[in-house]
Amino acid sequence: MVAYNDVRDAMRSGDVIACVEAKTFFGWLIRWATRGRYAHVGFVWRTGNRVFMLEDRFRQGVTIRSLSDVKEFDWIAFDKPWDGEVEERALSRLQKPYGVWTAIKIGLRRIGIYFDITSASEHVCSLYDAWVLGMPSNVVTPTEVVDVLLFNGAKIASVKV
């Protein structure tokens, strides 16, 4: 585990933040339903000297919060350029919420029931990240997003604020 202040300057817009969030009921439920390590993913977004997390949140849509408010997370750094087009795509979902039905559709994968969840109106946190990053449409859970990045050579570090 590394200290946030030791790696903060190395973080770039577009790096992925993955959270276990096992202490909350919804964090536990997501991990149980997806059989994954992670309950939530988002992006690093830098502007000036500030470091934020862009994240798609239930009933809120994409929000922005200070990354230092996320107490513990895995940081996945990789080489995809974060240019104006990618940033526009990421910010286009600001405050466009998704509903509980979308989350249920993903959870039903655990018992082998699959729905088409590829429309932009149905982006939950992991689908949002996969969509922005241009990943295949079958990458839908937080753990799948991280696994694809690691398979493609990304580096991971556990960070504590």
Tell me the C-alpha distance between 146 and 113, whole Å.
23
Mean pLDDT of the 114-136 span:
62
Which helix (H) or strand (E) is 27 found in, with range? helix 25-34
Mean pLDDT of the 31-47 span:
87
The residue ranges of every structural domain in the chain are: 2-160
pLDDT recorded at residue 142: 85
Mean pLDDT of the 43-47 span:
93
Q: Looking at 20-153, which runs of residues are DSSP E strands? A: 40-47, 50-57, 61-66, 72-77
Chosen CATH of 2-160 out of 3.30.420.40, 1.20.1250.20, 3.30.930.10, 3.90.1720.10:
3.90.1720.10
Other beta carbons within 10 angstroms of residue 68's beta carbon come to 14
Q: Tell me if residue 108 falls in helix, strand or coil.
A: helix
Lowest mean pLDDT among 32-36, 55-59, 101-105, 123-127: 123-127
Strand partners, 157: 75
pLDDT tens for 93-113 read 788 776 666 667 666 666 666
For residue 78, what pLDDT band results from cuts at 50, 70 and 90?
confident
Tell me the C-alpha distance between 66 and 99, whole Å.
24
Percentage of the chain with pLDDT > 90?
A: 35
Q: Tell me if residue 36 falls in helix, strand or coil.
A: coil
Mean pLDDT of the 140-150 span:
86
- Look up residue 161 and give its amino acid: V
Task: Read off φ and ψ for residue 76, nearest 5 degrees.
Answer: -110, 110
Q: Is the pTM of this model over 0.85?
A: no
Q: Which of 57, 62, 67, 64 is nearest to 11 (CA)?
A: 67
